Amino acid sequence: MTTLSSGLPPVWENIGFVIGFLLSLAMFSYIVRDNWLVRLAQYLLIGVGLGYTAVITWQSVLLPRLVRPLLEPSNGFVQAMPGSTSTPLFLIWIPLFLGLLLWIAGIDYLRGGDSEKGRVRQWLHGLAVLPLAIIAGVGLGVGIAGTLQGTFVPQFLRAADFGLQLDAAPGVLMLGILTLLITSSTLLYIQVDASEIQDRSLPLYLRVLVRGWGWIGQRALWLTAGFLFAQIFSARMTLLIARLEYFLFDVRSSNVWHWLQAMLAGGGQ
Amino acid sequence: MTSSFGCPHCGKSNPIDARFCSYCGTHLGDVEGSQLAQQPDKEEPVDESPPEKPLPTKRRFGPPSYWSESESDPADENPAQPSTSKRSSDLRRPSLRPNLTHGRPSPPSGERPPDQPYLPRPTLPTPDLPDADDPTGWLDRFSLPIPVESSPFLDDDLQRQLREFFVAEVPLADIPPPAGQITDGEGLWRRLSSYLLLLVVLVVLLLFRENTPETLPHVWPGVGPAFATVEALPDGATVLIHWAYDPATAGEMDLVARPVIGHLLDQHANLIVVSQLSLGPPTARRLIAAAKTLTLGDAVARQTDLSLVDGGFLPGGAATLPLLGQDPALGLPLDLQGRPALTLPPLASYHQEHPALVLVLADRMEPVQRWLEQVQPLNQVAVVAVTSAATGPAVRPYLDSGQLAGLVSGYNGGIGYQELLLRPMGRAEQARLWRQIAGHNWAFVVFLIVVLAGNLPAALRRRSP
């Protein structure tokens, strides 16, 4: 079994393989030049992805969680959620109202509706701010709380715990010194402007010290950027090699290739 | 020589050889960027106005680099001179066409949209403006017919600066470089470098089918702890998998994730897959099916379908993730087949107690970060991250702080994990891994050669007077 196997009936697998092969070739034509085949493949990818998202959103989110409870309120869907103290009002009706409000306002806006014209439009556009505010507010609150509890505090505690242990082994001590030096120099390079370093009112030794310290931070940034770029290059090369393997080897293990071989062999007899 | 030019529709910069705009998709075939860069502007017939009418001077747009070398600075020009052909052609350069309508229909020629910013001007004879359908007519509408000698409001420089300010995007690399200096893309021969890289990788893939690389790639810290965490799982443990990559990056992520999934299947773990990407669940089904067959064989794989629960698509981003930490039934009331979650044994046990392990498969940093920020503080379940090579450095601080129990990153991480499994690989699987290693090694060799070849001449030129 190869990564091409999808559990679909063989005829759909073969059709999917042919379509995937042709679209891969279309995308690779970008190597020669930008052309309509590349655009076609890109638009197909985006369109199919959006269409699939719409279908899956309806099938697995809206239909079971919103539409069915509305149509059959006695199916115990809401009550079946253990530990839930929310009523259908908060789980169904308010989200439905806010969602429809946002949807209608969005369509009106896309059609070029001007809130200057008509009191109904003004009210609509004004009320549509409410679901947007809820989305933005919830997202912001969740994000800030999560950043504090999941990133800032644990990372700060880890850095504080690591510290500079003067009685540690030489390797650990050197690591601590380097960490302190590179971190401080990078912060200095980012914060202090070059013109400020050239300020003649500062003593010469201070200018030299700050300039040298910032020089280390600049090189540290270059090194970090280079390392990150190398990792990104590695990731993209893995993708390229996998795609080339698809053309060179996986194609030959497909049913379509076997059919072609059988046809050519049978035609030659 | 410019390496980019602006789209005539949206004004965004595009590479010189682009056939389609990268932002709006407009076909740029009629506007040959290479022609703009290489050929001088053609002479165009000038519509001479009658001598008794004062002929307005059309302003140039953009910095002086847009003008041909033979043209003089506008400040030195005699404003009483009629419009030259080169000036008209300058106005037709696509990079000089601002898109200030933003999708609204263009007003008829001669009229100025009421909300368009414009400079106050004295009453002057209206010039003959081109048709509104003419793509270059936009520019002429902004050619304020203000004679220089009678402009009481703004001088040339300030007018030019104001027009540049209102252009949608200032094109990059506009100023022609000094003679002898390497311009963007020329010295490195980007296209040749890409062809060379592709050719080398193709040759390596075709030649290294049977040969085995001498050394394995370097494995970064985190793979060993990840292996140990999975190895320590009890038989039949529930593992929640947050699937955060789709087929776009499956070429790399499958290599990294398959050994880990195979290890979980060896441990007879019950897998619950949930994804916040719409294409995540089908990607998960495909990979888990492939890993099952490789691990268990076809016959046994068909019998173990109940051990996999497809939790499906969970929309909402970071706002809905905490549901999985507080009460999973709230986040996964139904699986992808519409079956109530509590009727499925793996999810029923998940409701009573938290999973033994969480596996986050992500090609970006955000899904891992979100999980560690939103879910792990709630249920304190160990998390193992399987990520792309590009994501590894950004996620590593979480491994150092102890928030991640293990980290498998990049194709080398997948190979390192595979080595720890001590499971014999099939011939085809082994050949696939060796091709990846060989292709990577040679790709980096080419990359280093290109970097050196590009930087050495630049370093030598810098030293020369």
Scan residues 249-268 of B and list those with Cβ closer than 8 Å to A: 249, 251-252, 254-255
Distance CA A228, CA A234 (A): 10
Break chain A down into helix, strand, coil percent, rounded to 5.
Answer: 80, 0, 20
Distance CA A230, CA A225 (A): 9
Distance CA A66, CA B1 (A): 59
Residue A248 · residue B206 · CB < 8 Å: yes
* Percentage of chain A modeled with pLDDT above 70: 82
A-chain residues within 8 Å CB-CB of B322? 142
What pLDDT, in 10s, does the model give residues A229-266? 999 999 999 999 998 888 888 887 777 778 888 888 87
Looking up tokens 């789209």, which residue turns up? Answer: B7
Distance CA A226, CA B455 (A): 14
- B402:A57 CB<8 A: no
- A227:B285 CB<8 A: no
Looking up tokens 């989200």, which residue turns up? Answer: A95
Token pair belonging to B158: 């300030």
Task: Indicate if the pLDDT at residue B104 is higher than 70.
Answer: no
Distance CA B109, CA B132 (A): 5
CA distance A200 to chain B (A): 29
Q: Which amino acid makes up residue A29?
A: S
Distances (CA, A) of B3 to B70, B97, B177: 21, 17, 11
Residue B270 · residue B237 · CB < 8 Å: yes
- A1:B298 CB<8 A: yes
> For position A35, what pLDDT does the model report?
86
B-chain residues within 8 Å CB-CB of A158? 397, 400-402
Q: Taking residues B113-123, report their average pLDDT.
A: 48
Residue in A with minimal Cα distance to B256: A238
Is residue B346 very low, low, confident or very high in pLDDT (cuts 50, 70, 90)? low
> For position B3, what pLDDT does the model report?
62
Task: Indicate if the pLDDT at residue A225 is higher than 60.
Answer: yes
Looking up tokens 């001498």, which residue turns up? Answer: B214
Task: Indicate if the pLDDT at residue A73 is higher than 80.
Answer: no
B319 in contact with A, Cβ within 8 Å: yes
A178 in contact with B, Cβ within 8 Å: no
A-chain residues within 8 Å CB-CB of B370? 146
Distances (CA, A) of B73 to B59, B69, B78: 12, 10, 10
Using alpha carbons, select from B373, B376, B372, B335 the residue that is nearest to residue B354. Answer: B376
More confident residue, A103 or B360: B360
Distance CA A42, CA A16 (A): 17
C-alpha triplet A107, A111, A115: angle, nearest 5°: 85
More confident residue, B23 or A83: B23
From the CB of residue A48, how many other CB atoms can be counted at a distance below 10 Å?
Answer: 12
More confident residue, A166 or A84: A166
> For position B175, what pLDDT does the model report?
58
B296 in contact with A, Cβ within 8 Å: no
B350 in contact with A, Cβ within 8 Å: no
- B400:A82 CB<8 A: no
Give the A:B interface size as CB pairs under 8 Å: 182
> For position A108, what pLDDT does the model report?
84
Residue in A with minimal Cα distance to B191: A31
Is residue B244 very low, low, confident or very high in pLDDT (cuts 50, 70, 90)? very high
B294 in contact with A, Cβ within 8 Å: yes
What is the value of ipTM here, to two decimals? 0.81
Distant-in-sequence, close-in-space partners of B234: CB < 8 Å, separation ≥ 6: B356
Looking up tokens 């949209």, which residue turns up? Answer: B113
B-chain residues within 8 Å CB-CB of A227? 393
- For residue A224, the SS3 value is helix
Half-sphere exposure of B224 (CA within 13 A, CB side): 4
- B333:A64 CB<8 A: yes
Helices in A58-93 by DSSP H: which ranges? 68-71, 77-80, 88
More confident residue, B45 or B315: B315
Is the pTM here over 0.95, yes or no?
A: no
Residue B225 · residue B387 · CB < 8 Å: no
More confident residue, A179 or B140: A179
From the CB of residue B83, how many other CB atoms can be counted at a distance below 10 Å?
Answer: 18
Is residue A6 very low, low, confident or very high in pLDDT (cuts 50, 70, 90)? low
Q: Which of B252, B287, B300 to mutate to test the interface with A (most CBs of A within 10 A)?
A: B252
Q: What is the mean pLDDT of chain A?
A: 80
CA distance A202 to chain B (A): 31
Is residue A60 very low, low, confident or very high in pLDDT (cuts 50, 70, 90)? confident
> For position A89, what pLDDT does the model report?
67
- A245:B205 CB<8 A: yes
- Choose the closest CB to A65 out of B286, B333, B435: B333
A143 in contact with B, Cβ within 8 Å: yes
Three-class DSSP labels, chain B: CCCEEECCCCCCEEECCCCECCCCCCECCCCCHHHHHHCCCCCCCCCCCCCCCCCCCCCCCCCHHHCCCCCCCHHHCCCCCCCCHHHHHHHCCHHHCCCCCCCCCCCCCCCCCCCCCCCCCCCCCCCCCCCCCCCCHHHHHCCCCCCHHHCCCCCHHHHHHHHHHHCCCCCCCCCCCCCCCCCCCCCCCHHHHHHHHHHHHHHHHHHCCCCCCCCCCCCCCCHHHHHHHHHCCCCCCEEEEEEECCHHHHHHHHHHHHHHHHHHHHCCCEEEEEECCCCHHHHHHHHHHHHHHHHHCHHHHHHCHHHEEEEEECCCHHHCHHHHHHCHHHHCCECCCCCEHHHCHHHHHHHHCCCCEEEEEECCHHHHHHHHHHCHHHHCCCEEEEECCCCHHHHHHHHHCCCCCEEEEHHHHHHHHHHHHCCCCCHHHHHHHHHHHHHHHHHHHHHHHHHHHHHHHHHHHHHCC
- A34:B20 CB<8 A: yes
Task: Indicate if the pLDDT at residue B353 is higher than 60.
Answer: yes
CA distance B125 to chain A (A): 35
Residue B413 · residue B256 · CB < 8 Å: yes
Task: Indicate if the pLDDT at residue B269 is higher than 50.
Answer: yes
Choice among A70-74, A117-121, B266-270, B297-301 with the minimum mean pLDDT: B297-301
What pLDDT, in 10s, does the model give residues B139-168? 445 444 444 444 455 677 777 777 766 665
What pLDDT, in 10s, does the model give residues B36-47? 444 444 444 545
What pLDDT, in 10s, does the model give residues B3-28? 677 888 788 888 777 778 888 888 77
Q: Taking residues B192-216, report their average pLDDT.
A: 77
Task: Indicate if the pLDDT at residue B75 is higher than 50.
Answer: no
Distance CA A149, CA B10 (A): 43
CA distance A54 to chain B (A): 9
Q: Taking residues B175-180, report their average pLDDT.
A: 55
A261 in contact with B, Cβ within 8 Å: no
From the CB of residue A31, how many other CB atoms can be counted at a distance below 10 Å?
Answer: 11
B-chain residues within 8 Å CB-CB of A114? none
